[in-house]
Structure 1
């Protein structure tokens, strides 16, 4: 178990990293701004579930595969890039939501939740980041490696959940205003499409 001092330092570092603009929080911001804070929180829960997968990979040493195997890294990153391009196409084609129409009908929680999981799990850079970041806060005297990684992973997820949920609520205010303007909605959809394309390009060109 990491020491209290180590956990405090880790929480501070995790919160800073969670608020720094990156693929995950930009993804949450975009979704919440387009469809409301509840959508952002649903996607956030999916992203945090994906972080559980990456925590397990680091704890059991499987993340090394993505760091050492060019094929595994390439296959996963292109799968993630393809999914982002799919989202970009959907956002580009989307029209304004009618105030009384079906477009405002909430999407099922499971679909938004799954979207967050896929977005996170198909990014091998997250696994490699965890592999580089978490061990810095591991103390050999505090016990076995895997339990410490598990604790740090859960703490990091809690920090991400807090940060991304706050981002969702703030973006939700923007969403409420966008719903009053069809032109603003179309513009936001186009901007979201460009952001997804940019994230896809960044992921596709990432190096292990």
Structure 2
């Protein structure tokens, strides 16, 4: 089992730690609001990740054809949702109460995963490589793959959030707060377009 997990982690490393849409989303939130304000969204994203990954692995969620209307709807819905979050950040004020309005919660994290078709593609790719090898039973493989994938993603997102938080501390003065809102709103808008067209 140790070799199976190590091989899976090596496979996932570039996918999880490179600057993808999820990492950029949480880095932007961390920079603007700090790590603690992103924990609920991070929890939502990863609870949804664990459930969706297990359901796909167990064969309870059919594969989504990238040329289908469902895939296009997910792509469009996810992009619009992230654009809405970018708008919330762009109009967030400087006071603590106004900043909380612009931060993301548990359901925002869930929606970000559920409406992100690229997450489904990565999960299917992962199962195509590791779903039929390694551990004795299918149930054990699904459980291990789902848990390793989710915890590895969580670690990557927390590292990106911490990096964003460190960067954001430099600009969290009252004078820089508005500019930082706008910069990271643009980053989130870029994430939305990445989800749609990337």
Question: Normalization by structure 2: what TM-score?
Answer: 0.86
Report deviation, 1:86: 0.8
Q: Residue 83 of structure 2 aligns with which residue? A: 85
Kindly indicate whether the alpha-carbon contact (under 8 Å) linking 1:138 and 1:148 is maintained by their aligned counterparts in 2.
yes
> RMSD over aligned Cα, in angstroms?
2.5
C-alpha separation between the residues in 2 aligned to 1:69 and 1:50? 24
55-64 or 151-160: bigger deviation: 55-64
Structure 1 distance, partners of 2:33, 2:105, is: 11
Asked if residue 103 in structure 1 is aligned to residue 101 in structure 2, the reply is no
Q: 1:105-130 CA distances to partner (integer Å, 9 max, x unpaired)?
A: x56x9x61111111111112211211
Equivalenced residues, count: 198
Instruction: Specify the alignment match of 1:205 in structure 2.
Output: 197
Q: Does 1:43 align with 2:41?
A: yes
**Shift in Å at residue 19 of structure 1?**
1.2
Q: Tell me the CA shift for residue 32 of structure 1.
A: 0.6
Partner of 1:158: 151
**1:154-190: per-residue Cα shift (whole Å, max 9, x none)?**
11111111222222233223333322242x2222211
TM-score for the superposition, normalised by structure 1: 0.82
Matches within 5 A, 1:161-176: 161-176=154-169
CA-CA distance at 1:63 after TM superposition:
4.9
Q: Corresponding residue for 1:116?
A: 109
| Unaligned residue ranges in structure 1 (runs of 5+) | none
Of the structure 1 ranges 129-138 and 153-162, higher mean CA displacement relative to structure 2 is found in 129-138
Which of 148, 166, 179 is the equivalent residue of 1:187?
Answer: 179
Deviation at 1:139, TM superposition (A): 4.1
**Aligned to 1:132, which of 109, 125, 134?**
125
Deviations 1:68-115 (A, max 9, x none): 6601111222111111111122222223x14xx5335x56x9x61111
Gaps of 5+ in 2: none
1:14-53 correspondence runs (5 A): 14-53=12-51
Checking the alignment, whether the CA contact within 8 Å between 1:29 and 1:40 is kept in structure 2 is: no
